[in-house]
Structure 1
């Protein structure tokens, strides 16, 4: 545990009890949600990113992605999902404790949602217009 890490502190101080967790990871609501119900799946061990996790921790995170999806379906009824991780500063990671975003999507939340996660690099996202 890193005392300065917001995710290490959050899990030890007050995990969201209503959200699923397991021995190696937990789910919390995102503090700066991009949509209603935006979740973070966070390993309990402090590790910088996905590639620093053990195979068991990676599996535990993916199990919680599925459990988080079911929880969102019951509590928020989204129409779709984006799942993503930022690994390293060049990829946009700002908290250096691995976390997976599970972002519920809703019909009409964007005028044109085509491309989804491809918009991480806007000039490369639209592959369908210039064919």
Structure 2
């Protein structure tokens, strides 16, 4: 079992099975999303139990960014049809957060995976993606 730096037994990401970890550094780790939006959808998670993005230290932000870059390159190498990415976080229940341990979604996108991708994350609010 992979152990985050602080063990919060009720927290999914503080006791993730080690076989799910696909990359890590001293302050963060990555797993494939259990409910992927697209193939190779990946989560970057700080090892310290912190509720959301706004609680991350500068060092944790750097560690997460380092993993995001490495994972992006790996995904592009593994699947050359990947033509873009959505990177997102939910901070707070009103924003859709359901697991209250910070995690960053790295979602590979492919040409034609949706009819009209313009607006990207703006589609979270109905009618706001097209402008």
TM-score (norm 1): 0.90
Tell me the equivalent position of 1:59. 62
- Equivalent of residue 76 in structure 1, options 76, 79, 84: 79
Matched, 1:36 2:42: no
Unaligned runs of 5+ in 1: none
Structure with a larger share of its residues in helix: 1
- Equivalent of residue 2 in structure 1, options 8, 11, 19: 8
- How far did residue 68 of structure 1 move? 1.0
Matched, 1:109 2:109: no
Unaligned runs of 5+ in 2: 1-6
Partner SS, residue 29 of structure 2: strand
Structure with a larger share of its residues in strand: 2
* Alpha-carbon distance between aligned partners in 2 of 1:122 and 1:23, rounded to the nearest angstrom: 39
Tell me the equivalent position of 2:89. 85
Matched residues, number: 124
* Alpha-carbon distance between aligned partners in 2 of 1:101 and 1:67, rounded to the nearest angstrom: 14
What's the RMSD between the two structures over aligned residues? 1.1
Partner SS, residue 93 of structure 1: coil
1:19-30 → structure 2 map (5 Å cutoff): 19-30=22-33
Runs (4 or more) in structure 1 with deviation over 3 Å come to: none
